[in-house]
Copies of this chain bind each other. A is one copy, B any other.
């Protein structure tokens, strides 16, 4: 089964690799139109998925993600049109020089080939992921959740038909209808067919990919993000950054989980921050010094420092100096996003140079680690690994660089 899908994807990828940027752009516009034109079919299929999910006792937040509405369908179309408008990464020359013997060398971006995406019960990911893969000249194999199967079939059918309208191979987009664990495992191990697997989901999926995948992967891992408020911080900026980073959308990976405060400003800042955060409904878990300042705090345990709460909870620690803050982050950070608030350029430089993380933010909320915010138009994930790509993954992350040599008969 996976071999048949994989072989079709590989064949489609050969055609997509050679397609023009204009054709792929047109494909995305057709895909957007097709999604809109299929609105009633999509809503109908989604209603069946929703009914079944409710019967199976699926909870509120998941049900909300699964739901399609007219606005969400139109949002999918808008997303596809946005990606269509992005610069084409394929064929872009990223370097070029002439070798000692006159051979001309070009380093050029090319599609990876076949991308597999495993995701949860969010039907809009079907359109998002397909759009990014087609735009970057890749074929895609989609494996969504069983809860969204009918919705996904309806969406992918519309997208596939759109491909044929511009002369691109229909199997550039394929949806796996086998939503079993065995099916997912087969996809994770289809080394002959899959050039990159992007898992989009919670810790369970990530753990399964880590332990079972043999195909190349980019892991969208945990974000145990910190904000360090330095002794030289502007405390007004610090307060708005901390509150924004925790409260604006606590359930996402770029939300802050631990606040580190230099002791020189702790008396004022821990008290102010606690007041503001508590007013927003945040639970604070503090170290001994923080709790002296704000006795309402729950005592923080060792495991709180290591936890990505993904909720209205924040751990707070007062540190004697920037070195201790850096050490704390080295011990507990996950390489996602770390922020410092300071007006001292040397402290900022030290923080930036010392920490090995995909994104380091100076006087900015951690919430900016995001493909749209970065100007990538859209993102297929956020890499917390170091190889291939770090941070928000845009179109470029679905390509690689290869070399083309032009000569006139040169030999060694």
Contacts and interface: CB of A to CB of B under 8 A. Distances in A.
Interface in A123-164: none
Interface in A351-375: 352-354, 356-365, 367-369, 373-375
A196 B241 CA distance: 34
A356 B352 CA distance: 38
A241 B406 CA distance: 13
A401 B391 CA distance: 9
Contacts of A103: 364, 368
Interface stretch (A23-31, A56-64, A308-316, A381-389): A381-389
A196 B402 CA distance: 20
A334 to B, nearest CB: 13
Contacts of A408: 237, 363
Interface residues of A, number: 65
Contacts of A236: 409
A-side interface mostly: mixed
A412 interface: yes
A407 interface: yes
Contacts of A110: 356
Contacts of A412: 244, 248, 365, 367-368, 373
29 contacts: A14-B330, A14-B354, A17-B353, A17-B356, A18-B354, A103-B364, A105-B374, A105-B375, A110-B356, A112-B386, A112-B387, A196-B386, A218-B387, A234-B409, A236-B409, A244-B412, A248-B412, A359-B403, A361-B407, A362-B405, A363-B410, A365-B410, A369-B403, A374-B403, A386-B400, A387-B387, A387-B388, A390-B400, A391-B402
Interface of A: 14, 17-18, 97, 99-100, 103, 105, 110, 112-113, 195-196, 216, 218, 234, 236-237, 240-241, 243-245, 248, 330, 348, 352-354, 356-365, 367-369, 373-375, 385-391, 400-412
